[in-house]
Amino acid sequence: MPYHAVLGAAPEPRLGRAFGNHPRPLPRFSPAAPFLARCPVSRPRGPLVFKSAPSTSSDDSSSEPVPVGDVPRHPRSIPAWAMSMLLHCILMLLLFLWVDSPGGGTGDEPDRQVGVAIAHRMPDRTEYEAVESEAAETAAEASETSEATAAAAAAAAAPSAMAPLDLEGLLAEATETPAPTPSTGGNAMEPAVDRGSGTVENGEGGGSPATISLFGVSGSGQRFIFVFDRSDSMNGFSALAAAKREMIKGLRGLGPEHAFQIIFYNHRPVHFEPSGQSYWMLPADDSMKQRAEAFVRSIQAFGGTEHMDALKMALRLEPDVIFFLTDARIPRLNRRELDEVRSRSGRSGTTIHTIEFGTDRVTPEDSFLQTLAEENGGQYRYIRVQTLDAMPGNAS
């Protein structure tokens, strides 16, 4: 007799398989049923049926399986290889986006110009000398030359239109071409420049020598050149303004029989060139002196300091006297440069007077300007810039 008939319990359903006869008990309800359905061992290959309970009658042959329906099928899970491929694709996409994204540095910023400056520590301030590029220097020189030319033209009586000048060529011509010598005819060593009607040849002028004084330093002769520093440091204590006033007073002491030229310099020299005339000695008549005064007043201080180019430019014209004024003890002229200046001035008989502006209370003992004056037959004077306004004639 079946056990359920003895115990009186309901018959336990059996899970049949489509192939083979290996029934397994199937719980009435179990949370693990969906996972068992996905298990390869227990997953049915066909419709599921339950065997009916054994009959209590004596005829067991009439017992047949009664189909009770299909077990619901669950969707198949994504294969592991597909999940791995999807994950790798996502990671590669994120990596590509991270590498391709712009960085946080300065890669996209526009290029900026940089420069180099040399600091000179003075007793009352620190001066910065910019090392400018060639393009910046050329632009500054062209701007300054244009301003000076406009001032000179305004003082003149309606001069004609000026032709463009080759400033670089004039500078090279003035510093490198041998100076002309007195001659009545042609001279192969004489620079090929147009002197114009308002210039003075070497040795010309006749008349008596003039004696002029700048800051107590006197010079005598017929041909004078003023070489004044106009670097940025000359802005302090109104040094440039005092120097320009003193130069104008010296110019007014010259007569028509005398000749002069003016050179202001910073990192490059610029000379007085009225109405487009080339670099040469100019007659000190009233009209030319008025133009010169306008040129002097137009000069502004800026830039660094380079002494040697301005000195060589002045020595090319073989003047009788050079008044050399600067406040720059640095940079110094070295021994080779001092010897070169002495050799050039010795050939032309030029006297070089030097005037130094400074802030020290006493005259410096190691100034190269004192050596420059002594080796070229001139006088040297040190002026403390704090006393400039108190000097006679500088109150205006």
Give residue limits of the domains in the chain: 1-57, 133-159+166-177+195-387
User: In this predicted structure, what is the pLDDT of residue 391?
Assistant: 74
Q: What is the structure's pLDDT at 179? A: 47
Question: Which residue in this structure is represented by tokens 């003895």?
Answer: 6
Residues of the chain with pLDDT under 50: 3-6, 15-19, 42-43, 49-50, 52-53, 57-58, 61-62, 68, 155-163, 177-197, 202-204, 396
CATH architecture of the domain 133-159+166-177+195-387 equals: 3-Layer(aba) Sandwich (3.40)
Dihedral-angle region of residue 203 (phi above 0 means left; psi in -120 to 50 means alpha; beta otherwise): left
Rounded distance, CA 190 to CA 168, Å? 19
Does the global pTM surpass 0.95? Answer: no
Helix orientation angle between 286-298 and 134-155, rounded to the nearest 10 degrees: 140
What pLDDT score does 329 carry? 83
Question: What pLDDT sits at residue 100?
Answer: 73
Asked whether 179 and 317 are in contact (CB, 8 A), the reply is yes
Q: What pLDDT, on the 0 to 100 scale, is given for residue 353? A: 98
Task: Look at residue 194 in the predicted model and tell me its pLDDT.
Answer: 40
Residues 312, 317, 322, 324, Cα dihedral to 10° = -30
Give the integer Cα–Cα distance in Å for 7 and 349: 148
CB of 230 closer than 8 Å to CB of 218 = no
